[in-house]
A and B are shown apart, each in its own frame.
Chain A
Amino acid sequence: MRVATGLAFAAAMLMTTAVRAEDLAVKIGVLSDMSGLYADLGGPGSVTAAKLAVEDFNPAAHGLKVEIVSADMQNKPDVGANVARQWFDVDHVDMIIDVPNSGVALAVNEVAREKNKVFIVSGAASSDLTGAKCSPDTIHWTYDTWMLANGTGKALVKSGGDTWFFLTADYAFGHALERDTTAVILANGGKVLGSVSHPLNTSDFSSFLLQAQASKAKVIGLANAGGDTINSIKQGAEFGITSGGQQFAGLLVFISDVGSLGLKTAQGLVLTETWYWDMTDANRAFTKRWQASHAGKFPTMVHAGVYSGVLHYLKAVAALKAASDGKAVVAKMKEMPTDDPLFGKGSVRADGRTIHPAYLFEVKKPEESKYPGDDYKLRATIAADEAFRPLKAGGCPLVTN
C-alpha cells in the first residue's frame, strides 16, 4: 500500500515537472474592490477584462499556461497588503493588477517591491506611484492624478474657470488629486479659494457644498471618486450650485458614475479619461465581448487598462520565458513598445508610467444621447507626450538624469 502511494506520488511529481518543462505557469492576481463603492469601475469587470486579455494572447501558442485568481481588498490597505503577501508567498502569484484605491495601491506597491513581483496599477490614481514612491516592480497603466488635473483642470482654467474650491476625499488619492490640480491651476493663472476634506463614503455632502457655495469660487473641484462624486453632483444640483453659476469639475469621473447620475444631472460635466468604449471599432468589439458577462453595463477605462496591461505583461513574460523575477519582467515591459487594440501604440517609461493619449470629454445632454452608453462627446485629445507628468518632474529615484 505504502509503496503504491509512493509510486503514485512520484508519478504525480514527474507529471507536474513534465508540464512545467513544456509550459511556463504564470499566475495573475486581480486585486480589486469587489463589493464596495469602486466595484463597478473595477471589481468583477476587471476580472473579465483580464480573462479576455489572456484569451486574446493565446498562452498555449507562446508556451505559457496562465491562471487568473481574484480577491477583494475591501478598500483597506491592510487587507490589500495581506492578500498580496499571501499571493506572493504562498500561492505563487507572479503579478497583481488593478487595485482601484490609492491607499491600498501604495501598500501593495511596497509589498511587490519587497517580494520582487510585478504590480500593474490600473484602478488607482495617485501619481506618487510613479513619483516619490516609484518602484522597479510597478507599472502605472491607465491614468493618474497628474493627468486628470492636467486634462480637466487646465481645460477649465483656460475656459474662464480661474477660481476653485475643492471637495477632497480624505485619503491618499484625494490629497494627491487636489495637490496635482492645484499646481495646474496656479501654473495657468488661476487661484484656489479653499478646500474641505470629507471622509471616504460620505452620504451627505450638503454641508460641504454650502461651504463651496459660500466661497463664490467659479469651479468646484471634486477630488473624490465613485459614490462620493455621485452624491456631490446629485446634491449639488439640488442646492442650485450649477444654476447659481458655479461649475463642477469632476476630476475623476467614470462612465459607470455617469450612468448612475443620469444624463439629466450629469450633462455638461467635463472630464478626462484615457479610454471610452464608443471611440473606435476595436473598443466597441471589446465592449461587446465584455458585456457578455456584464449585461447592460459599460466597461470603464480601468477595465480597458487591465486588459491592455495583462496583454503587455504576457508578451514580456513570453519574450523572457520567465516570470519569477519581477524586476526583469518590468524591465522587459519598459523595453518593448506597447501595442494593443484598446490603447494603440505607446510605451512604458523608466518611472513605470505608461504613456498614451488622454481625452477631454463632455457629458452629453439627454437629447443628444442616441443609445444606452452614448454619454460622451470628445472635446479635445491630449497628445501622449503632453498627457502625463514630464519624466523628470516626478522625483522618481529610478530616473537618473
Chain B
Amino acid sequence: MFTILGHPSQQLFGQLLLGLINGSFYALLSLGLAVIFGMLNIINFTHGAQYMMGAFVAYILLNYLGINYWLALIIAPIVIGAIGVVIERLFLARIRQLDHLYGLILTFGLALIIEGLFRNYYGSSGQPYAVPDSLQGGHNLGFMFLPNYRAWVIAFSLVVCFATWFAIERTRLGSYLRAATENPTLVRAFGINVPRMVTLTYGFGVGLAALAGVMAAPIYNVSPQMGSDLIIVVFAVVVIGGMGSIMGAILTGFALGIVEGLTKVFFPEASNTVIFAIMIVVLLLRPAGLFGRSV
C-alpha cells in the first residue's frame, strides 16, 4: 500500500468510487436540465423540486399502496413527468417567446410553492425509505466496502444517461428535436407537431429528475428540501459542462462527483464549495462551458 499526500491509496480509491456514485446523481439531474435547456431554452429551476417529488412519490407508493421500489422506478417518473407536462402546457408554453429570466423566475417560484406544500404536509425532517431487500448488503472490494445499492446506482444511471444521449444524438426522433430547436417554423412545415414535441421533451426531462429522486430515496433523507440542497450544485455542473450540451452534462456530472469526493479527503470543509470554485475558473477561461458551443 502506498500513500498519496499522506493519505493511504486505498482510501483514495474508495473516494474515487464514491465520487462516481455522487456523480451519477449529478449526471442524471444535469442531463435533465441540459435536455430541457437545449430543447426549450428554459432554465428549469423546478428541477430540484421535481427530484424531491420523485422521492416522495416512491415513499407514498410504498407506504400507502405497498408498491415497491422497482415499480416506483417506473411509476414515479411517469407521474411526475405528467405533472411536468401540465406545468409546461399551463405556464411555460405561454412564456416561450420571452427572455430566459421569465422562465427562471416562474420555475423558481413553482419550486418554492411545491417545497412549501410538501413541508406543510410532511414536515422538514424527512421520511424513512429502506433500501430494497434484493439490494441489501454489499461487497468488500479490498479497498472499500461497496454497498450493492450504490453499485446499482452507478450502473443504472450510466445506462440511462447513455440511452438519453443516444436517443437525442443518434435517432430520427432526436434529429427532429434538434432540428426543431434550431428552426421550429421550418420543422413544422414538414408536418411535425413541434409544440407537442417540446411538451413531451419537458415531461421527459422532468421524468429524469423524478427517476433520480427515486434512486436517491433509499440513501438520502427524503425531505422537502432534499432538492434545493442538491440543485444549486447541479446548476454549477451544467454551467461547467456547457448549457444544453448532453454529453457535456453527463461527463461533467461524473467528473465533478469525483473532484468533490477527493476534496472530502484532502479538505473536507470545502467539499460543498469546490464545485463553485471550478465553475468560476471555467467561466473565466471558457464562458460557454467545457463542452458548450459559443453562441
Contact = CB atoms under 8 A, between A and B. Distances in A.
Contacts of B178: none
B226 A203 contact: yes
A213 B145 contact: yes
Contacts of A199: 269, 271-273
B242 to A, nearest CB: 25
Interface in A37-58: 37-41, 43
A252 to B, nearest CB: 13
B86 interface: no
B130 interface: yes
A293 interface: no
Nearest to A233: B221
Question: Chain B contact residues (Cβ within 8 angstroms of A): what range?
Answer: 35 or more
A198 B260 CA distance: 12
Given A35-B119, A206-B21, A230-B221, A238 B124 contact: no
A170 B126 CA distance: 22
A197 B125 contact: no
Given A203-B220, A207-B15, A196 B124 contact: no
Contacts of A260: 125-128, 221-223
B149 A43 contact: no
Q: SS class of chain B's interface: helix, strand, loop or mixed?
A: mixed
A206 B261 CA distance: 9
A188 interface: no
Contacts of B8: 214
Interface stretch (A150-158, A261-269, A310-318): A261-269
A196 B268 contact: yes
A240 B123 contact: no
A226 B123 CA distance: 12
A259 interface: yes
Of A199, A260, A264, most buried by chain B (CB within 10 Å of CB) is A260
Interface string A244-264: 100000000000110111101
Interface in B128-169: 128, 130-131, 137-138, 144-145, 147, 149-150
A59 interface: no
A321 interface: no
Contacts, number: 122
A38 to B, nearest CB: 8
Contact of A234 (B10, B21, B221, B265): B221
B199 to A, nearest CB: 31
B221 A210 contact: no
Contacts of B272: 199, 201-202
A227 B18 contact: no
A327 interface: no
A264 B130 contact: yes
A240 B147 contact: yes
A197 B123 contact: no
B214 to A, nearest CB: 15
Interface in B259-277: 261, 264-265, 268-269, 271-273
Contact of B11 (A211, A226, A265): A211
Contacts of A231: 220-221
Nearest to B136: A238
A158 to B, nearest CB: 29
Contacts of A37: 124-125, 223, 225
Nearest to B120: A44
Contacts of B119: 35, 39
Given A35-B119, A207-B15, A235-B219, A256 B269 contact: no
B125 A40 contact: yes
B53 to A, nearest CB: 16
Given A37-B124, A238-B219, A260-B223, A197 B14 contact: no
Return the 9 tightest CB-CB contacts between A and B, nearest first: A262-B128, A207-B264, A40-B125, A260-B126, A39-B124, A199-B272, A256-B125, A230-B221, A260-B125
26 contacts: A35-B116, A35-B119, A35-B225, A37-B125, A170-B269, A197-B269, A198-B268, A203-B230, A204-B22, A206-B21, A207-B271, A210-B14, A211-B265, A214-B10, A230-B126, A231-B220, A238-B149, A239-B147, A240-B138, A256-B125, A260-B128, A260-B221, A260-B222, A260-B223, A264-B128, A265-B128
Given A170-B269, A240-B147, A260-B125, 19 more contacts: A198-B264, A198-B268, A201-B229, A206-B22, A207-B18, A207-B19, A207-B271, A210-B11, A210-B15, A210-B18, A211-B265, A230-B126, A234-B220, A238-B147, A239-B145, A260-B126, A260-B221, A260-B222, A265-B128
Interface of B: 8, 10-11, 14-15, 18-19, 21-22, 116, 119, 123-128, 130-131, 137-138, 144-145, 147, 149-150, 218-223, 225-226, 229-230, 261, 264-265, 268-269, 271-273
Interface of A: 35-41, 43, 170, 196-199, 201-204, 206-208, 210-211, 213-214, 226-227, 230-231, 234-235, 238-240, 244, 256-257, 259-262, 264-265, 297
